Structure 1
Amino acid sequence: MGDNTDARAASTPESEDPALAVPADESADRSGRSASPRRPESGPPPAEERDETSVSSPSVPWLLVGLALVLGLAATTRFLESFVPETTAGTTFGGFAEAVEYPVYAILIGLLANGLLSLTGLRDRLAGAFRTEFFIKTGLVLLGSTVLFDVIVRAAGPAVLQALLLVTSVFLFTWWIGGRFGLDSRLRALLSSAVSICGVSAAIAAAGAVQAKREQLAYTASLVIVFAVPSIFLLPWLVQLIGLNTAQAGAWIGGNIDTTAAVAASGAIVGEEALQIASIVKATQNVLMGVVAVALTAYFAYRVAPAGGSARPGLGALWERFPKFVLGFLLASVIATVWANVTGDSGEAGLDTAKALRDWFLIAAFTSIGLEFKLSSLREAGWRPIGVFALATVFNLLVGLALAAILFRNFAF
């Protein structure tokens, strides 16, 4: 939901990553079937491509303005988080306001700012500062400092088992249903990886492994975001409706929502302990991204396109795809555990500082989710990829719920 590359970059079809290029006859149209050949590599790009390139490499002044905007929206979120419950206390709205956590404010404020910036034509100029992946990775590393290592050790067993069963079953189901819908094999690989592992980052890793067309990656990234945003609010509501305990809720959220940022947002809505379990479960699934990427590379190199010049898979690809921030999360947890044992109560201030920094980075990430959200790129996807993604998401929710309920039923903090 490890996210190795900025979701914003992934959703830009004009990205010039050569690993994502495929021969003309391997192109896919809106429904995953054959389409027109790629533009020749030589010659100047069209005007719209030049504009996208300029967006992906923003000037320093616009970058600074964008970062100031994200920081200002994060500060507004912090203000509303305390102001709204205080001003509505004792009213009929007070109980609801007290239950609303900062991810809700951050995402809604981000969406509102997104609309205003789009109307004024400033959004694309500032987009370089909307670094959801950077903010969420940094926040999750800091989250490790608030999760004692013994919790990770106790949660590791059921988390690994859930990840193996869930990723395998959801990937195979999505691959199968994608074939039934007649999607191109490369698009099937992207959708299967995105739904089963960690959204955009898994799709990016799969795209490099199978040499997917850039537009296919854009379609998949857009679908991930469109489905992840409502899940942030839907799953906490379903957790209350079904009556899951805190650990089961975190495991279900971590195993089902496709992006790490959205997992953190949804887990934070349920509570601190649910956020911890959700992050551990999602991090466990993220580790499998490298395994899936290597397997896809081997499958496409030897079975789908053996004569296409694809590089033969090697063990080095496993480390290349491995989400490095997971190591930072574990290291921060070890350091915090040692710090707490050595300093006792006198070390609480240091841990509180790490928690405050974590919250700021997570708020910036949730705000960026709203700022980055784009519905327009789905217009070209057609209904087949959307149908496959929707069916796979429902399957993921049902299997994930069963696994979380069984594997984490007796987990205690």
Structure 2
Amino acid sequence: MSDDKSVDVQAPDALAVATGGGSTDQPAETERPHWAWTLAGAVLVLGLSVLVYWLTVWVPQATAGTGFGRIAKSIEFPVYAIIIGFGANVVLSALGLRTKMSKAFRTEFFIKTGLVLLGASINFAVIARAALPAIAQGILLITTVFLFTWWFAGLLGVDDKLRALLSSAVSICGVSAAVAAAGAVQAKKEQLAYTASLVIVFAVPMIFFLPWASDLLGLSTAVTGAWIGGNIDTTAAVSAAGSLAGEQPLQIATIVKVTQNALLGVVAVLLSLYFTVKVERQQGNARPKLITLWHSFPKFVLGFLIASVIATIFSSTVDAEFAKTAIANANNLRTWFLTLAFVSIGLEFSFGSLKEAGWKPVVVFVGATVVNLAVGLLLATVLWGNFTF
């Protein structure tokens, strides 16, 4: 694009742009830090992840027999990872090192790799049985929440391009949806950064709130997973909340979320066509953008499905104990990648871009989140209430 204020749909590092690390508005020296800083950041992420693993083992042992010991047993690795990531973020920011190391904080890469490995632990028969309710939930929830957010943002006079980003982010899959929408409507980088920061600000407390609320409401494992997968905006946060809720809720949450991710390309194409025909027609730059469908489609969804198919065939053709050991090893590797992702969530977070766009987008996001939670719980209960593993 010729306009340097617009966002390319193929933006290579959405989360870094969104949260202030590696911002495309920075000079080239900041945007591309020296390899030594990236290496130092990678060592830091790995070291913090090892610390997380150690804490998950040591804290329950050290507090056994105490009042806190009962609580410590239920604290899963995502909690330690996110807290430690935030703590390290504060220290690095105070020392002026966080931006220099930011290229190593690869949340999206870590989470997508972890989710592909998660596919290896899910029998493809479960995915096949879950496909219909997941697709129905995805279409109904995305449509309802997108249209409400679009209407509410318009009611408050929010710019059309920012409306598109907010509506896509809160209804589909957070940062990735915001990036795809930004490319489709040629939004400004500042609008993308602001929207993605809102996504993360709202997603982090949801990691802890939804598992707690699901337990409080006595929801089944399938309904819990569907509510988490349909309502938490970022894939990384869905994985964290699902991990806290349990293995079966995590599986359903992931299936629901990857289904919504798969619908992202369709929404991006529709947005592109709408802005081309309705909004920018008078500028004479109408052009087909069907290639947006492929650019926006999250490729890791295919990896997730392929891993499930391969693991299912593998488990049915080899010795049961050998298959169990192999799947366990894949799950351990998945846990490591998810830990790296959750640590990176804390490290990447920045409040900087939250100061730019005023109060209206915040109000829109709050309202859309409330509607998303209510409609999502209703759909999860109706569509997943009778689902069994």
Q: Tell me if the contact between 1:15 and 1:214 (Cα under 8 Å) persists in the aligned partners.
A: no
Asked if the contact 1:203–1:217 (Cα under 8 Å) also holds between the matched residues in 2, the reply is yes
Matches within 5 A, 1:283-322: 283-322=258-297
1:28 aligns with none
Match runs of 1:65-84 below 5 Å: 65-84=40-59
- 1:364 matched residue in structure 2: 340
Task: Determine which of 10, 13, 38 is the counterpart of 2:18.
Answer: 10
User: What TM-score, normalized by structure 1, do the two folds share?
Assistant: 0.89
Separation of aligned partners in 2, 1:71 and 1:264: 19
Is contact 1:11-1:217 (8 Å) kept?
A: no
Contact 2:175 2:234 in 1 (8 A): yes
Query: What is the aligned partner in structure 2 of residue 350 from structure 1?
Result: 326
* Whole-angstrom CA distance in 1 between matches of 2:311 and 2:31: 37
Task: Supply the distance in 1 between the matched residues of 2:164 and 2:78 (Cα, whole angstroms).
Answer: 31
Secondary structure of 1:173's aligned partner: helix
Once residues 398 and 223 of structure 1 are traced to their aligned partners in structure 2, the CA distance between those partners, rounded to angstroms, is 20
Deviation at residue 82 of structure 1 after TM alignment: 1.0
**Any idea what SS the aligned residue of 2:340 has?**
helix
Give the aligned partner of residue 5 of structure 2: none
Q: Say whether the 8 Å CA contact 2:280–2:286 is kept in structure 1.
A: no
Q: CA deviation at 1:12?
A: 4.5
- Is residue 19–residue 348 contact of structure 2 (8 Å, CA) maintained in 1? no
Q: Secondary structure at 1:382's aligned position in 2?
A: coil
Q: 1:49 aligns with which of 26, 37, 43?
A: 26
How many angstroms does 1:349 deviate by?
A: 2.1
Question: 1:49: how far off?
Answer: 3.0
Counterpart CA distance in 2 for 1:202 and 1:138 is 19
Correspondence for 1:210 among 179, 185, 199: 185
User: Does the aligned pair in 2 maintain the 1:14–1:214 contact within 8 Å?
Assistant: no
Check whether the contact 2:16–2:23 (CA below 8 A) recurs between aligned residues. Answer: no
Structure 1 Cα separation of the partners of residues 33 and 21 of structure 2: 17
Q: Whole-Å Cα distance in 1 between the matches of residues 195 and 154 of structure 2?
A: 16
1:159-308 maps to which residues of 2 (within 5 A)?
159-308=134-283
Comparing 344-353 with 129-138, which one deviates more in the overlay?
344-353
Q: CA deviation at 1:55?
A: 3.1
What residue in structure 2 maps to residue 381 of structure 1? 357
1:4–1:347 distance in 2 versus 1, CA, 3 Å: farther
User: Which letter maps to 1:377?
Assistant: S
Residue 323 of structure 1 aligns to a residue whose secondary structure is coil
Q: CA separation in 2, counterparts of 1:176 and 1:4?
A: 30
Distance of 2:244 and 2:273 partners within structure 1: 40
Is the CA contact (8 Å cut-off) linking 1:6 and 1:132 kept in structure 2? no
For the 8 Å contact 1:5–1:201, the answer to whether it is kept is no
Shift of 1:364: 0.3
Which deviates more from structure 2 when the two are superposed, residues 55-64 or residues 128-137? Answer: 55-64
- Pairing 1:400–2:372 present: no
Corresponding residue for 1:331?
306
State the shift of 1:13 in Å.
Answer: 10
2:4 maps to: none
Give the secondary structure class of the aligned counterpart of 1:182.
coil
Aligned residues: 378
Superposition pairs for residues 11-30 of structure 1, below 5 Å?
Answer: 11-12=19-20
Aligned: 1:129 with 2:137: no
Instruction: Report the residue type matching 1:99 in the other structure.
Output: S
Checking the alignment, whether the CA contact within 8 Å between 2:122 and 2:251 is kept in structure 1 is: yes
Counterpart-to-counterpart distance in 2, 1:82 and 1:93: 15
Taking the aligned partners of 2:21 and 2:323, their CA distance within structure 1 comes to: 48
Structure 1 counterpart of 2:302, one-letter code: L
TM-fit CA distance, 1:312: 2.0
Asked if the contact 1:13/1:217 (under 8 Å) is kept, the reply is no
Output one character per residue of 1:317-336: Cα deviation in whole Å (capped at 9) or x when no partner: 21221110000000000011
- Tell me if structure 1 keeps the 8 A contact 2:14–2:179: no
Q: 1:285-323 deviations in whole A, cap 9, x for unaligned?
A: 011110010000000000011133545234332122111
Given that 2:81 and 2:343 are in contact with CA atoms closer than 8 Å, whether structure 1 keeps it comes out as: yes
The Cα shift of 1:352 comes to 1.5
Assess, with a 3 A threshold, how the Cα gap between structure 1 residues 336 and 14 changes in structure 2: closer, same or farther: closer
Inter-partner Cα distance in structure 1 for 2:316 and 2:221: 26
Structure 2: runs of 5 or more not aligned:
1-10
Deviations 1:73-122 (Å, cap 9, x if unpaired)? 11001011111111111211111111111000000000000001111111
Identity %, equivalent residues = 59
Could you list the runs of 5+ residues in structure 1 that have no partner in the other structure?
Answer: 17-47
Amino acid of the structure 1 residue aligned with 2:361: P
The alignment partner of 2:26 has SS state of helix
Matched with 2:6 is none
For residues 13 and 150 of structure 1, what CA distance do their matches in structure 2 show? 40
- Structure-2-length-normalised TM-score: 0.94
1:40 corresponds in structure 2 to none
CA distance in 1, matches of 2:109, 2:194: 22
Q: Could you report, residue by residue, the CA deviation over 1:163-221 in whole angstroms, capped at 9, with x for unpaired residues?
A: 00000000000000000110000000000000000001101100111111111111101
Output the amino acid matched with 1:399. Answer: V
The answer as to whether partners of 2:123 and 2:309 remain within 8 angstroms in 1 is: yes
Amino acid at match of 1:10: A
Note closer, same or farther for the CA distance 1:210–1:314 as it changes in structure 2 (3 Å cut). closer
